[in-house]
A and B are shown apart, each in its own frame.
Chain A
């Protein structure tokens, strides 16, 4: 009774204080990725004029800094109203198991989204107990970038397999060019997952995350051997470079190739002003043609937030074809929503959208789609062990030990 009265009072108060109503949106979309978020926020402000939007961004690629800040805030009982998270296991394995999120099935029913998203994607975002996030974009992880004119000058083509890459590697080095540009720690993990997919193929790659294929299996160990050979073809100042700087090496002609998610296309088109297909070219990373390694940025509904209704409105916008078509052309990603208007997108994104429809899809490890975050955050250590010892056996043992400890695939 008292509670109802309080609620009534609160509602009345909120009505009066409507102008002070807020929503805090937490993300790691800073710098070049900022304009896409700002455009989406602008649309939100048009639709809900009384709501003050606080754009809280924490810089750092792939959310390396943001995740620490977010966790401290969630633990501290101060959750942001909406936070960016990688759809799939990153959200489920970290936040859903800890009972920090609300089930969004009701919102999917209300908005009729069950028919508007690919079935496989919805499954990846769900557990037995519900659906946990609304995806805003789809990125592809396994893309090889190059500058067509440069390749022609050196007399090479984009390799179809890692074996082929390793055979052309010495020739490129002979030109005084780095065959493959990589950057700081997480971009090396990013390279690893493309190597793993190329060496293992989609079926075995998936089995790694369901624990059907142990890391100590000879097939899985081969990934490390190939990875080691590929690393020998990379720049030696990698750890000091951001992913953009690694991309810059390719654009500037000091490196031939770079493997990065397709946010690199956004960077090259928007920030560097290059034309897709002319200024830069792309292919599936070696040995992964016909496979689309996906990752998706998403928003969920945290429990215990102050502005639940504002957040729900945000999710409604984020999940709509309209919202996604505002966001994605700027961000350099495609819309997961099936009614997205492809004519708004550039040549690269149209080709990716076609692949998204036709290809076999697998989840990304580094970007939270495939495996629990607990595994992923320790995977940096595995890479470190490999870099320090150069031993595939040590790396495989460490990976398996972590997989067992965190209960991978359960």
Chain B
């Protein structure tokens, strides 16, 4: 009897947090979704009215974002985020792993180095952005660094360079996505076949082939826009990527270092006894054991990079279109241009992207936990 009453108390004590999160997270997301289907702010006289008249317009805002004439900036922003995420992840994982390996070699002053590589993590993105804005001045900072040893200054335009590489037509996107998914399905089919799951392999093979065929035939004639529109990787992002890697690679280093320390020394000894040299040891024993850490780091960093906002705001300014991302565009669209419905639609796209990364991760890590 007493236990049950305590259990009720427990639930009661949890309730405020549950209600707060229910309202502030899920309720508000719902409201944002509702706003994204409305026309709030499309009519400029209603945008700032005290009691705006709002009508529902269905998917109009989303249609505009992906296929509308004016919202070309949003589409480039998506492409920017995609490339930024790839290079940011590659940079952090590569540098973090490298530093962790170095520190794992039983070096003197390890604590000092660890502190040094990790300290940028404690800074605000705004501080980092302010510092790197000064570092990357076109005629100063890093560019004149060579002159201190008598070499000619660099000319790279960092944040303001307008060069775009790896360009592709936005209209090719459905076909490209189709091919990519088809390729993944084929890989799934192959591995299922090897694993002896014939039915699964057959289904994956069939759908993969069908999707691939569609992408190569009908998919090519699906045009999102009535005209070709090229997007690509803006070279101006190199500076942002540098600053972001400077700040976050210490995080992956800490993760990897913890992982390396967690590998029992007997395991390494055993490998050495088997005649493995140091490089083989890392390739065949250590790296595979670090794989789960790589996955976690990718997901944590991935969702940070999708949401990146303050770093770019402080570093390149809100109006530097070549270094724009959806998170920043949402702020400008909603709070400066007062197109709340379109801002809400951008936010929802952002949320879906982040959820696609995070939900499977939460799912698997928590399910694994309850099994344990």
Mark A residues whose CB is within 8 Å of B: 64-65, 67-68, 71-72, 74-75, 93-95, 97-100, 184-186, 236-240, 372-374, 377-378, 380-381, 384-385, 387-389, 394, 397-398, 401-402, 405-407
Contacts and interface: CB of A to CB of B under 8 A. Distances in A.
A71 B320 CA distance: 21
Q: How large is the interface on B (under 10, 10 to 19, 20 to 34, 35 or more residues)?
A: 35 or more
A374 B342 CA distance: 14
Interface of B: 42, 44-50, 69-70, 72-73, 76, 137-139, 157-160, 162, 164, 227, 230, 317-322, 331-332, 335-338
B335 A71 contact: yes
B73 A240 contact: no
Nearest to A406: B44
A94 B69 contact: no
Contacts of B336: 67-68, 71, 377
B44 A93 contact: yes
A396 to B, nearest CB: 11
Nearest to B323: A239
Given A71-B338, A74-B48, A237-B138, A184 B70 contact: no
Given A71-B338, A237-B157, A397 B69 contact: yes
Contact of A237 (B139, B318, B335): B139
B83 to A, nearest CB: 16
Contacts of A372: 44
Given A68-B336, A71-B336, A374-B337, A239 B320 contact: yes
A240 B159 contact: yes
A97 B321 contact: no
B335 A99 contact: no
B72 A239 contact: no
B319 A184 contact: yes
Contacts of A373: 44
Contact of A98 (B47, B139, B317): B47
Nearest to A61: B319
A98 B321 CA distance: 29
A65 B319 CA distance: 9
Contacts of B164: 388
A178 to B, nearest CB: 13
B72 A381 contact: yes
Contact of B48 (A95, A380, A381, A402): A95
Contacts of B319: 64, 184-186, 380
A381 B333 CA distance: 12
30 contacts: A64-B318, A67-B336, A71-B48, A71-B335, A93-B44, A95-B48, A97-B44, A98-B47, A98-B48, A98-B50, A184-B317, A185-B320, A237-B138, A237-B157, A237-B160, A240-B158, A240-B159, A372-B44, A373-B44, A377-B337, A381-B70, A381-B72, A381-B73, A384-B73, A384-B321, A387-B162, A394-B227, A401-B69, A402-B70, A407-B44
A401 B332 CA distance: 20
Contacts of A71: 48, 335-336, 338
A223 B358 CA distance: 49
Nearest to B229: A389
A236 B160 CA distance: 9
A367 to B, nearest CB: 15
B312 to A, nearest CB: 14
B258 to A, nearest CB: 40
